[in-house]
Structure 1
């Protein structure tokens, strides 16, 4: 359990008295300290609205739907809507709200009868008229409602005032309020968890995908009040209309015309790999069937499972009477429907029927729950990105779509927005840390401004030395010839000299290679060419890649990071050709740390907590990355990154494979032991320090939802401590655990343009720890980076465990300082550098698989469903066994920069 009252410590001073949170209140994380005082006070606008909550009892019912509890939420909502509006209308007056799964909330007790707490309802869901050819008749459903609790809003009020623990009663009350505000839009629009989407603003981006503008809404507790957080969001939808058009749009290559129906026919040589790719994309899509039959009314959508290998003319099946015929013949005989394209494939739907592709229609508003292909990501970002003032206006306009004042559900429960104006709240702008560069710099220290600074006339704090280098070019020699190579060499050598990197030969070995060939063997041959020419192997390989050279990139990284330990730096040919000095300066930022150098460090006076020589500190970042939505049988990857030097600017990393979609890090003990041991060795062997073991550990954890905070406390903290014991520490270091959240919809906007930066966003260093923060726990929002495109998102920090006694100011200033030591840029970043590095390390875990291991390149595009648990476990073990560790030389460097 985290300490409820932290001891005095060096984390910014003693913990302030907990006057506001009652003594008997328990928290999951650390209890809230007094708000911070450092920085310049500034009022900002936020996308929150105060809401009046119900003042009467809310009645909570458990919902069981038979014959299956695994129906899609959409179908469950249809069933409960029919129950309330047709089957038992007199009982549901006013109507209750339903979350689509297990929870139903009513503004009054449902009149089941005196003393009756449970009732069953059985009825058909008439989606279409009964088909005379179907003797089974309409399907019957049974819904059982059981009263489980009464929610008194007084519990919620006490929680907001800091007089009530965050228990199940509070959690259920907040859930009920969210279900109330979402009920109306859920019935009217396509929805995805907490967002719903309308077709008032759309964009087709190709690949069979349309984008729809949506609105996010969530009821959140804050200090002394409940708030609704409202934001705009983006939904990817399957392109509506004939399924044939959707397929052609998905299969279209670049700017070429889409394939014709004839080209999609198996008889015409439609490639099986393309069929499987299309099958993965269409898996789960609902379609309606058009037969032009006079007796067929509106039919329930069917769900696509597979695409046939044969066309409708060749795909045979057996009728009940035993006769065999083709799908095309069946539709001609049964529905008098002659197919226009009888050679096209069919789709297998959930009922087991094969339906000709050409008579399927995709209904409007179907959310695509798979990952958008990487080549379309820019289109999604262009659509989703809005400048701050434009986003704020959209949020204001969204209130007319949300229309809380018109929702019968919101009215019946007594909820109401207190104002339609976004809240104005208090913030502070923290001073940035002073950064220190190396000897020979004209300006050895610098103070960032609006989250950025420049390196003009500055040398790296610790410049690296290059032990020979070569250039391997995977671009056509006609497009990247000798003149461009000479420009590249001159620009890169000059850039290295200006920042202090030494050893860059002006006449490196240069080779042109074909990216379709064996990249690994080509790199080996290039290294041998240098050995022949200079009697040494290269310490650096610079590779020039063409557009779309991702496969080549992965193979080069595998060669360098895993096989040989040689530092590799890939450059895109379009950017490297004729690049300006600023481009090469940015490349040098990466090169220096990859080669073992240090770019810049925070001045000791800016981070006294980190620079205390008597209390060495290790800062750790940890993350987990999961396979793409829709992928099954693919593992998750974990990473742990830790500082090794006294200035917390040099980091070491380790990564592992683990069970798919599991958030808690399985191998955390082993991973922490490794990185802490590496830090101890660096302090001893490189820095020659007398105190080897860390006295303090700051553990920043990425990617954990609020519902998993308790699990982190119970499972991950003991593993960190166990790792320290294994290393022989008698006095365990004091540990602070902070969860860094990025996936939220909280935004801040300056009150006036003069109060923002040049992008229109709030200034770097803007921190909010009142008004929209947790009622009882230690959390804050910090916007640590300068704006570039769109509206900046602050990071949300939740302090779960703290043995170092941090004050609000101490934790906020430390976190802000760590956002300035990210080696790849002369800008502060949105989250502390070790967390950012951990995210990068996870994403590069696919480079640990040997190229050419069929099926074991980490496929982000999704795979066919793999429902067998035994097969999933076998696949996971294969992924683990084929995962190769870093080369021992790479493991000592910041290869992930």
Structure 2
């Protein structure tokens, strides 16, 4: 790309923009099936479901639970206990009907209840509302009374009101290709039945997955965190009929055991004296603990301000004659438990207490009396070490996964569930047989126009070295204790002083791993202020493959191309070779769970230099926290300009493609669920069209929009083989959607564990690819990832978008997200405007580079 030139408009500046009518798009149906490739017999972890009574009707009822003081009960745990008790007490009034309860507001029966509106009084023997009363909150006599009161019957009022009918046959209609409105509702009822069964077994429920704390399922990954293996189970409509998709699933839980052990592990502290209690307070909030001395459960609300032996509270002591009127003493928590309760405390005296009360009415417990309850989810981001440990310890070979999943379907005896039995639902016990095809690997061009034929999804670039660096510059020792931003500033001052001019490239060797605090400020400084390509490394083990991978990244950042498709170089890609075509990869990166103050980062990469499809430019913007739909594809400003992502990429395509405008755009979208497909078309595609309208374009390009999903639960296996499916395996029959246009593709060679195919959904296809042409294009785009010498599991543009979002997200790591921060406003769910800090724009010298590689 020529540097220093102003970006030319896609249209002449004097043309007045015409208003385009945004066409209304809807999901397309499958146009046919692919036939290319070598046939292969496969198995999928789908279990065929037979429905013998399809005319049954689910009745949905709204459930309202109120406590004695007329407050609505929100806790799922209490809700399930109340409804269980209701069934035990009033089964005759319910017409002996079995029901499925979702734990919240909905209840389902097969056939109607005796009345459309029912009201019941339900009594639980144990009061959940008061079981959290701490043991020290009064005199010993009062403690006894509190204990008795906590076991006093607790009353609830339950209202059950008719809401809707959901016919089971709507699933059969959907299986035959009809857009049955109620089919998703019926499938949801079936899934709720599975969830209820898991809840009755005491499992932790996470969406459609369930976990129990059998020690054989637990894997310690360090930091007080444990990987818990369970199962995903969901009913899915497929081309081959209704199936149960059963898969191994993993969630992260807090390692159960003494709270002090968790804190030591979480902070990598040698002993309690090294614990950072400010950090501990944030970490422990809302965790559930069980006490050793009275076996009760509490929720942690905070920590005491003072140590256990200095934290006073008022203790009311009865008079000597046993009367109610006694004096009130100020005693420490430590003194109360050791002297008044005769409980030995070995090490709690100098530690804060756990607060399990309310902010205005605290209740304290010594730390060593408390242990973390099992099956509590850990939702914070894992460290790189924890992730690596989890991956290594949770790998399963294909045959082992087949055995584990098949055993689970047999052991859980879903056929015996009373509700499924009423519907005549039975589930086969063996995996579904599937016909697959192995697509031929694309031929590549590498180096000086050399031919390269990948074998088993891989090729080799070893022993190609580059020139030695101009000079070596080391950080001044005196600045190593400074903050990350200050360290980076000083390092660039040193570089500027020692070099005769701006360097073309900097190799930065970090003292810690790449996720260190220095990384974000370093990338921000080099890419936005200086416009210099940089490569950060922190090698722990150096070999030929490591050096090759580093060199691949450096070459890409400096504008080199490591490999091209042979048909790309010779301009022979079907439907792309003759028509200017831009390929987009789109992704949104969200902050850590629970951090609603950190903005999300949207990234879109667009191909450049048509007819090539291996070089990309990235456009990245911040947007409202946790929002998945991309907000800045089109961004009109007050002065009439458009500062959106699409304009930036369209102009770049025009500049690098000899003044050709894209007549076709292939969009690859990552990270959206099936429930969001229509939003991609109505929101994101509409923004793209508005960007064209703003540029004055009267002719709208043809769009093909494809969603790529990695996080799904369909696995493919070779029949009778211990190995993973071969690279290039595609499946577009049997286990795919009965109407929508989707297919599974396993482009990568799975060397360890069990391969996960990518699940591609074609939402619209105005370009008109044949199934074979589209599958081959997507397969080929898995071979042009410039950082790798092997085919990857998802198309390269999506990987690039993910990298760009993650890297530029590091720029705002040290931003202050207070109300004074600059940036555009966004609305919270409560409707109040909060600022979204803007990302700094890339320097013009690197804006068009593949800086994200």
TM-score by length of structure 1 reads 0.80
- Whether contact under 8 Å (2:588, 2:602) holds in the other structure is yes
Structure-2 residue corresponding to 1:481: none
**1:714 partner SS:** helix
Cα shift readout 1:160-197 (whole Å, capped 9, x = no counterpart): 011x2141x11110011111223212221222221112
Structure-1 residue corresponding to 2:267: 251
- Whether contact under 8 Å (1:540, 1:567) holds in the other structure is yes
Task: Determine if the alignment matches structure 1 residue 787 to structure 2 residue 750.
Answer: yes
- Partners of 1:869 and 1:726 in 2: CA distance: 29
Task: Determine if the alignment matches structure 1 residue 327 to structure 2 residue 361.
Answer: no
Query: Which residue, 194, 198, 212 being the options, matches 2:208?
Result: 194
**2:733 partner SS:** coil
Query: Which residue, 445, 456, 459 being the options, matches 2:451?
Result: 445
Structure-1 residue corresponding to 2:7: none
Structure-1 residue corresponding to 2:301: 305
Structure-2 residue corresponding to 1:95: 98
Question: After superposition, where does 1:560-709 map in structure 2 within 5 Å?
Answer: 560-576=526-542, 579-580=543-544, 582-604=545-567, 608-609=572-573, 612=576, 614-646=578-610, 647-670=612-635, 677=647, 681-682=651-652, 685-687=655-657, 689=658, 692-709=660-677
Query: Which residue, 431, 436, 439 being the options, matches 1:422?
Result: 431
Structure-1 residue corresponding to 2:12: none
- Whether contact under 8 Å (1:644, 1:680) holds in the other structure is no
Structure-1 residue corresponding to 2:136: none
- Partners of 1:693 and 1:106 in 2: CA distance: 58
Structure-1 residue corresponding to 2:171: 156
Shift of 1:677: 4.8
Query: Which residue, 354, 361, 364 being the options, matches 1:354?
Result: 364
Aligned length: 771
Structure-2 residue corresponding to 1:887: 843
- Partners of 1:677 and 1:377 in 2: CA distance: 38
Distance 1:317 1:402, change over 3 A: same
Task: Determine if the alignment matches structure 1 residue 761 to structure 2 residue 724.
Answer: yes
- Partners of 1:228 and 1:276 in 2: CA distance: 47
Shift of 1:49: 0.2
- Partners of 1:401 and 1:305 in 2: CA distance: 39
- Partners of 1:390 and 1:645 in 2: CA distance: 47
Question: After superposition, where does 1:220-369 map in structure 2 within 5 Å?
Answer: 220-253=236-269, 258-260=270-272, 263=273, 274-292=276-294, 299=296, 301-318=297-314, 324-331=330-337, 335-337=341-343, 339-340=345-346, 341-349=348-356, 351=358, 352-369=362-379
Query: Which residue, 416, 421, 435 being the options, matches 1:411?
Result: 421
Shift of 1:762: 0.8
Distance 1:207 1:126, change over 3 A: farther
**2:300 partner SS:** strand
* Structure 1 gap ranges (5+): 1-25, 265-269, 293-297, 457-490, 497-503, 857-867
- Whether contact under 8 Å (1:530, 1:538) holds in the other structure is no
**2:540 partner SS:** helix
- Whether contact under 8 Å (1:212, 1:237) holds in the other structure is yes
Structure-2 residue corresponding to 1:124: 123
Structure-2 residue corresponding to 1:478: none
Shift of 1:282: 1.9
Shift of 1:896: 0.3
Question: After superposition, where does 1:437-476 map in structure 2 within 5 Å?
Answer: 437-439=446-448, 441=449, 444-455=450-461
Task: Determine if the alignment matches structure 1 residue 63 to structure 2 residue 63.
Answer: yes
- Partners of 1:184 and 1:763 in 2: CA distance: 37
- Whether contact under 8 Å (1:91, 1:110) holds in the other structure is yes
- Whether contact under 8 Å (1:610, 1:617) holds in the other structure is no
Distance 1:450 1:103, change over 3 A: farther
- Partners of 2:510 and 2:282 in 1: CA distance: 30
Structure-1 residue corresponding to 2:764: 801
Shift of 1:888: 2.1
* Structure 2 gap ranges (5+): 1-23, 131-143, 317-326, 637-641, 819-826
TM-score by length of structure 2 reads 0.84
Cα shift readout 1:424-453 (whole Å, capped 9, x = no counterpart): 1111111222222353x5xx2223222212
**1:221 partner SS:** strand
Distance 1:144 1:810, change over 3 A: farther
Shift of 1:749: 0.7
- Partners of 1:251 and 1:509 in 2: CA distance: 36
How big is the alpha-carbon RMSD for the aligned residues of Structure 1 and Structure 2? Answer: 3.0
Shift of 1:505: 4.8
Distance 1:626 1:610, change over 3 A: farther
Shift of 1:798: 1.1
Shift of 1:819: 1.2
- Partners of 1:562 and 1:553 in 2: CA distance: 14
**1:389 partner SS:** helix
Cα shift readout 1:109-143 (whole Å, capped 9, x = no counterpart): 223xxxx3011223233336987337695543222
- Partners of 2:531 and 2:314 in 1: CA distance: 61
- Whether contact under 8 Å (1:63, 1:145) holds in the other structure is yes
Distance 1:542 1:335, change over 3 A: same
Distance 1:279 1:312, change over 3 A: same
Distance 1:536 1:675, change over 3 A: same
Structure-2 residue corresponding to 1:467: none
